[in-house]
Amino acid sequence: MTRLTPHPDRLFSANPVERDIARRLYSEVASAPIYSPHGHVDASMLVANEAFADPASLLITPDHYVTRLLHSIGVSLDELGLRRNGGEPTASGRSIWRQLSTHWDLFLGTPVRYWFESELSEVFGLTEHPSTANADELYDELVEKLASDAFRPRALFDRFRIAVLATTDDPADDLAAHRTLADDPTFAGRVVPTFRADRYMLPTESTWLAKLDSLASTSGIDCGTYVGLLSALRARRTAFAAAGGTSSDTGVIDAGSEPLATADAERIHRAGIDGSITAGDAAAYRRNMLYQLAAMASDDGLVMQLHPGVLRNHHRPTFDAYGPDTGHDLPDATSFSRPLAPILRDFGTNPTFRLVLFTVDETTFSREIAPLAGFYPSVYAGAPWWFLDTPAGIARYRAAITDSAGFTKTSGFIDDTRAFCSIPARHDMSRRSDATYLASLVATHQISEDDAAGVARRLVADIPIQTFRLG
Amino acid sequence: MTRLTPHPDRLFSANPVERDIARRLYSEVASAPIYSPHGHVDASMLVANEAFADPASLLITPDHYVTRLLHSIGVSLDELGLRRNGGEPTASGRSIWRQLSTHWDLFLGTPVRYWFESELSEVFGLTEHPSTANADELYDELVEKLASDAFRPRALFDRFRIAVLATTDDPADDLAAHRTLADDPTFAGRVVPTFRADRYMLPTESTWLAKLDSLASTSGIDCGTYVGLLSALRARRTAFAAAGGTSSDTGVIDAGSEPLATADAERIHRAGIDGSITAGDAAAYRRNMLYQLAAMASDDGLVMQLHPGVLRNHHRPTFDAYGPDTGHDLPDATSFSRPLAPILRDFGTNPTFRLVLFTVDETTFSREIAPLAGFYPSVYAGAPWWFLDTPAGIARYRAAITDSAGFTKTSGFIDDTRAFCSIPARHDMSRRSDATYLASLVATHQISEDDAAGVARRLVADIPIQTFRLG
Amino acid sequence: MTRLTPHPDRLFSANPVERDIARRLYSEVASAPIYSPHGHVDASMLVANEAFADPASLLITPDHYVTRLLHSIGVSLDELGLRRNGGEPTASGRSIWRQLSTHWDLFLGTPVRYWFESELSEVFGLTEHPSTANADELYDELVEKLASDAFRPRALFDRFRIAVLATTDDPADDLAAHRTLADDPTFAGRVVPTFRADRYMLPTESTWLAKLDSLASTSGIDCGTYVGLLSALRARRTAFAAAGGTSSDTGVIDAGSEPLATADAERIHRAGIDGSITAGDAAAYRRNMLYQLAAMASDDGLVMQLHPGVLRNHHRPTFDAYGPDTGHDLPDATSFSRPLAPILRDFGTNPTFRLVLFTVDETTFSREIAPLAGFYPSVYAGAPWWFLDTPAGIARYRAAITDSAGFTKTSGFIDDTRAFCSIPARHDMSRRSDATYLASLVATHQISEDDAAGVARRLVADIPIQTFRLG
């Protein structure tokens, strides 16, 4: 059994000059409040404020970062608590925890291990690394902690010093949970919705018609026509803004944004409804919708977050059995400058419009995202995302982005997590990684330490506040 | 107000062993003459040798590296002195300088800031960082300096120790300025033209017909036919070589080089003239022209510089108002090995032919450029260019290129600048960056310090001289 | 004349903390046996066990890593001993060695120089760097050594501590050499064949019909039909497994794997035989064959190695004169996630199936290979290959792969060499590079030194043994 003691200098350079600078820079921001402008925590969890059920369903089963790597060595998703064909989970929380503990070494060198170490130590106070030998003992310790009031969602929210938490929400969501939280005098946290309309852009998806119905029901606007759908989306954006929302999010397979004439879009919309739509028309419809969402953002000022280039549900048999978000969404080669030309031509210099670009194809950092952010007032270079949200990924991002876009045109960190308890660990990793990068610039006399400290402070406050209009 | 004192060890590793090696390597080349085989300084500036008008029109307005980043935070191009719709500038030099001074922190960590610090300190002798508070004072100081004889173009040319300066010139240019300089017994500098025929390759561009006329006028050869155009280009290449030129430059959207039968090229040429040309034919014409330029280079020995993969004038409204080179040329994903196959099949092993490949898509460094340069005697790996001409970019270039192409098949540094006063700072950055890279190889015992010193010396002299045939 | 003394700390970080950790990690594996699960050494060389003819034909002429870089500065392939148009070599071994010696500096900073230095010093005991001055002297010394029994293939095999050596073999190979070695009581080494069926996938290649005949002859199964070809390949896989083979290898221009209906494949097969095949059908045939090879692997458990994305024989005139593998195979942009979807959908979670992915397009490390290996139990991230098998390439590979796939889902090192005497140098470079990478994780407190030592040991033993089923 080895001691679980995350080192106070972790991620800082081994070079003593750089390490000492990084320490000082990090100390400026280590305990700063957390702005989380993009994530997948459920607002209703904070409304209910119930104790978490058990360690596995909190820390393992819903976190595809964790389950995918265990799956990659042959642990089945059943053994990790996922529901096959909508049935009940067949693995107990304890057995799921044992899988993680037994395969603890699998995660060596990965951010999952890094986050877990910080989280288990600093949030849960564990003092030993998980192992086959201590799996049951640690599980019992976690169960006991989770039952206490100090580990309820709102208590953790406060303890984590979360200044703003943005959720991700369907346009058809009535935002009741957000209203309840805002109206609750006993909860001081700021929890804001984010408008995510992906499903409405995909008329060949099996869920599209149901989505239109659902949106019509919430908005009171018929979505049987394309023009109706646009009106409903606009109305819901207004409602999201009224509920404190400052941004939208969009995930698409590519960033194509060629607008269609209304008549063409109507025709494709009808073909989507009657099931006669072609693949080419569906792609044209999606690209037009991206353009229309940008047009709305240029009108209403909701910050447009864009995440293109992910092949969703790559392994069809796993999707059929366990559903989406089960670890086989995979990055694709992607691009920004060409496909976004229509949007940027029409809205790129409008002060109301703001576009934050995220990628899982890191070739686009120096080739497209930084050059775009370094010219267009509307464009910001989104933080390294998903597979790239790692110490090495952050280092490559900063090295690739800073040359052409500096720091001011970067978004600040986003954690993008559904793992609530990992939020502080993720932000801490980002702060340490940025301190390390800045220290390298200082130690090589590219910027002064005073300037670096100013940048470090702005990266965790002014920059996310301004980028996501949270002020 | 903070002191502006660029550190003598800037860019060297913070590790003392590496730093000390880098210092020694850098000292070998710090004051070596500058070979600038690719840039955009105007020869007529050296002919006239007039005092520069003011700091802003010298240092800010014409430098899209600077204006683009200010534009990206909402400073309009008008406020930076650009001419809207061909009118007079509306901002005073002083107010433009204030913009830079106020937003000085925007450039932290970027090469623009680095170059500016070196330039303001070492060329202009400023001792304070620009700021809102000292903007007027520093402006006045710069104005006074620029009025003195020591800051006229030829005095700076000498002070910068420029051994060769290559300009970039239209084939229709009569090279009078170059002749005047060459014939002037009071000017010892070597200023050579570079043949750049991009505009003649694009029969759908609005300027194409005027270009043909202009070339016909200079060359005395009718360019109404494709064969005539080729003859005129060949004749001008001969004239460029006679004026001291040793190379051509070509910028294209892709490196496609499939030759056409003459009859097909004539047909497309005619369609270009009568306005009936298709987009497909225009691309075929451009690719054939690239092949023909390579054929000419294989005959006459002008070194062929190739810069593919830039999307020119991405933001159409800015182009319409302010013209080209205004900060929104953007990198595109590009490739070399497939599209250059026709050229390399026919000329790749001809000792007369030489092809220097530049990219703004750094994925091609290890994947294409280094492997090509490591086989074909004609191919050289061009220095990191434009968005990649940064300390971090140079480090990635060397790490990616050296494995497959060593040092001998790299081009040596090119500054590619229209900012005359930044030339020493740019070459100095390159020399420091290469010293840092070589020091890392020495400190990890991959090469000896003697060998590294030899490489450092060759990189600033023999290598550019041989690559660009400047001997 | 400079001393040839590879430094004991070479490749370790210059930072003393990291260097000391790397030393300790390396010492754990420095003398571990070599598993070489992918390479191009000829089994018959070990059967014959004759003294090598001369230094040039052993070390230079057959090694395109070496000849290509000499060719790139204008040394002709004739001068390096290659056979033009199938004729006799025109250069003497001594003159070839002089070429290398004279151009020794060309290789500075490249892995070729690194391997040569280790090999000449540690295998051949040379004490001076090659140079024009000592070329003849060193050549004579090498000739003398090669004539001694200690430098015969089997003696070197033992001295190199090779635990397993995998060769690469045509399905039509009768594997007689492998049987002879296995049956020879005086040879204890394990030499296993690898099934490589590339040529059978390309019905437009001039060699295809002869290949079918040859395979029919060895297998006794008529390959005039597609179904017959599949049967013959299956039979030979069984024979390869019986001869100790544990894996297959496939090199393809892209990883496309869409299966065809049998009738369609038969039709294309016939068109290939009668010469009426189209390029589109040939590509479809190749992609179906990749799928069929995966299906076979999923049945018989031979590990499937896949190397897509190489443009073979880029310079047609060199190919016509000197044949394949002469230094102008070049990397192409490639991808995995999309083209492999059919194979992974059908076999990706089958425990019998195993797929090791190699690339020369390093953008795929973080974007595709690591994410695939981090979900699919069948997929492993192959070691950095060919142009990327360098200290810098290995560092980028580990930094890009570990985040999403850890260490367990990487393949362990493969040397992929036809240069027998470079095998120890190549494995040693890999071990040092991995020690350096692991030391950086330890020094930045991301993993413990104990854990790092465990990983280092697994990387040279358990991991290749398990990945390639050599246990």
pLDDT in tens, B144-196: 999 999 999 999 999 999 999 999 999 999 999 999 999 999 999 999 999 99
User: Which chains does chain A touch, 3 or more C-beta pairs < 8 A?
Assistant: B, C
- On whether the CB atoms of residues B181 and B235 are closer than 8 A, the answer is no
Residues C42 and C127 in one domain: no
Q: What is the mean pLDDT of chain A?
A: 97
Inter-chain CB pairs, B–C, below 8 Å: 129
Among B73, B108, B387, whose Cβ lies nearest the Cβ of A377? B73
CA dist list (Å): A160 to A35, A153, A163: 11, 10, 9
CATH number, domain of B372, equals: 3.20.20.140
Distances (CA, A) of C316 to A110, A115, B99, B348, C339: 45, 53, 56, 11, 28
| pLDDT in single tens digits along all 471 residues of chain C | 679 999 999 999 999 999 999 999 999 999 999 999 999 999 999 999 999 999 999 999 999 999 999 999 999 999 999 999 999 999 999 999 999 999 999 999 999 999 999 999 999 999 999 999 999 999 999 999 999 999 999 999 999 999 999 999 999 999 999 999 999 999 999 999 999 999 999 999 999 999 999 999 999 999 999 999 999 999 999 999 999 999 999 999 999 999 999 999 999 999 999 999 999 999 999 999 999 999 999 999 999 999 999 999 999 999 999 999 999 999 999 999 999 999 999 999 999 999 999 999 999 999 999 999 999 999 999 999 999 999 999 999 999 999 999 999 999 999 999 899 999 999 999 999 999 999 999 999 999 999 999 999 999 999 999 999 999
* pLDDT band per the 50, 70, 90 thresholds, residue A73: very high
Q: What is the mean pLDDT of residues B85-96?
A: 96
Burial of C457 (0-12, 13-18, 19+ CB in 10 A): middle
Residue A131 lies in a domain: yes
A133 and A195 both lie in a single domain: no
Which residues 383-422 of B have a C-beta within 8 angstroms of C?
Answer: 399-400, 402-409
Smallest Cβ–Cβ distance between C14 and the set B18, B367, B368 belongs to: B18
Total Cβ atoms within 10 A of residue A186: 6
Contacts 24+ apart (CB under 8 A), A267-275: A268/A203, A268/A226, A269/A203, A269/A225, A269/A226, A269/A229, A271/A203, A272/A203, A272/A204, A272/A208, A273/A203, A273/A209, A273/A212, A273/A224
The CA distance from A171 to B430, in Å, is 52
| Alpha carbons C244 and C43: distance in angstroms, whole number | 13
A85 neighbors A445 (Cβ within 8 angstroms): no
Asked whether the predicted pLDDT for residue A140 surpasses 80, the reply is yes
**Bridge partner residues of C297 (DSSP):** none
Decide which of C86, C119, C151 is a domain's last residue.
Answer: C151
**B444, C10: Cβ pair inside 8 Å?**
yes
Q: Does residue B368 contact residue C362 with C-beta atoms inside 8 Å?
A: no
Instruction: Say yes or no: B218 and B112 in one domain.
Output: no
How many domains are there within chain C?
Answer: 2
- Do B79 and B218 sit in the same domain of this protein? no
Could you tell me the CATH number of the domain that includes residue C113? 1.10.2020.10
Report pTM: 0.98
pLDDT digits (tens, 9 = 90+) for A18-65: 999 999 999 999 999 999 999 999 999 999 999 999 999 999 999 999
A-C CB pairs within 8 A amount to 129
CB-based contact (8 Å) between B147 and chain C? no
The per-residue pLDDT for A1 is 59
DSSP, res A80: G
Phi, psi of C91 (to 5 degrees): -105, 140
CA separation for the pair A195, C376 (Å, rounded): 32
Is C172 within 8 Å of C183 (Cβ atoms)? no
Q: Which of A17, A345, A371 sits opposite B14 (nearest CB)?
A: A17
Residues 6+ apart with CB under 8 A from A414: A36, A37, A38, A39, A382, A383, A385, A464
pLDDT tens digits along A359-412: 999 999 999 999 999 999 999 999 999 999 999 999 999 999 999 999 999 999
| Percentages (nearest 5) of helix, strand, coil residues in chain A | 55, 10, 40
**With 90 as the cut, is the pLDDT of residue A196 above it?**
yes
Q: Pick the residue from chain A with its C-alpha nearest to B361.
A: A367
B35 and B180 housed in the same domain: yes
Is there a domain that residue C1 lies in? no
Q: Domain check: are B377 and B291 in the same one?
A: yes
Q: Is the pLDDT of residue A225 over 90?
A: yes
Query: Please, which residues 310-329 of chain B have a Cβ atom closer than 8 Å to chain A?
Result: 311, 314-318, 327-328
pLDDT digits (tens, 9 = 90+) for B399-419: 999 999 999 999 999 999 989
Q: Is A11 part of a structural domain of the chain?
A: no
Residues paired with B304 in a beta bridge: B248, B355
Q: In whole angstroms, what is the distance from residue C86 CA to residue B406 CA?
A: 31
Residue C5 lies in a domain: no
A101, A132, A151: which is the final residue of a domain? A151
Interface of A with B in 7-66 (CB under 8 A): 13, 15, 17-18
B278 inside domain: no
In chain A, which residues have their Cβ closer than 8 Å to the Cβ of C354? Answer: none
Measured CA to CA, the distance from residue C268 to residue A233 in angstroms comes to 51
pLDDT tens, position by position, B208-242: 999 999 999 999 999 999 999 999 999 999 999 99
**Alpha-carbon distances, residue A466 vs A240, A243, A409, A431, A461 (angstroms):** 19, 19, 10, 18, 8
Query: pLDDT at position A2, please?
Result: 78
DSSP for B135-177 reads HHHHHHHHHHHHTSGGGSHHHHHHHTTEEEEE--B-TT---HH
Same domain, yes or no, for C204 and C259? yes
Tokens 């480090």 sit on residue: B395
Amino acid (1-letter code) at residue B421: C
Closest alpha carbon to C354 in C214, C212, C209, C467: C467
Q: Is residue A95 part of a domain?
A: yes
Q: What is the pLDDT of residue B1?
A: 60
pLDDT, tens digit (0-9, with 9 covering 90-100), for B334-391: 999 999 999 999 999 999 999 999 999 999 999 999 999 999 999 999 999 999 999 9
Which residue out of A354, A372, A404 would a mutagenesis test of the B interface target, given it has the greatest number of B Cβ atoms within 10 Å? Answer: A404
Q: How many CB pairs under 8 A join A and B?
A: 129
Shared domain for C86 and C101, answered yes or no, is yes
Whether residues C410 and C304 fall in one domain: yes
Regarding whether B326 and B219 lie in a shared domain, the answer is: yes
List the single residue in B11, B68, B363 with the smallest CB-CB distance to A363: B363
φ/ψ bin of C11: left (φ > 0), alpha (ψ from -120 to 50), beta (otherwise): left
Q: What per-residue confidence (pLDDT) applies to B237?
A: 98
Q: Which residues of C touch B366 (CB under 8 A)?
A: 362, 387-388, 393
Distance between CA atoms of residues A282 and A201, nearest Å: 9
* Alpha-carbon dihedral C170, C173, C175, C178, rounded to 10 degrees: -50
- Which residue range forms the structural domain that includes residue B382? 16-50+156-196+214-256+287-467
Tens of pLDDT along A118-138?
999 999 999 999 999 999 999
Determine the distance in angstroms separating the CA of C325 from the nearest CA of chain B, rounded to an integer.
12
- A84 chain-C contacts, CB cut-off 8 A: none
Query: How far is it, in rounded angstroms, from Cα C296 to Cα C456?
Result: 33
3-state SS class at B247:
strand
Residue closest to A361 by CA, chosen among C365, C333, B367: C365
Q: Can you tell me which residue has the tokens 């000896």?
A: B448
Residues B132 and B44 grouped into a single domain: no
Report residue A195's pLDDT band, with 50, 70 and 90 as the boundaries.
very high
Across the interface, of C404, C440, C446, the residue whose CB is closest to A387 is C404
How is residue B122 written in tokens? Answer: 């070492």
Give B218 to chain C, closest Cα distance, Å: 38
Amino acid at C116: F
Taking CB atoms and an 8 Å cutoff, what residues of chain B touch A345?
315-317
- Average pLDDT value for residue range A77-102: 97
> Beta-carbon neighbour count of residue A305 at 10 Å?
29
Interface confidence: ipTM more than 0.90: yes
Task: Kindly state whether residues C335 and C424 are assigned to the same domain.
Answer: yes
- CA distance linking residue B133 with residue C154, whole number of Å: 78
Contact B408 C311 (CB under 8 A): no
CB contact under 8 A, A406 and B330: no
Contact C338, C367 (CB under 8 A): no
Determine the residue of chain A that is closest to C351 in CA distance.
Answer: A74
Give B13 to chain A, closest Cα distance, Å: 6
Residue C441 lies in a domain: yes
Residue A227 maps to a domain: yes
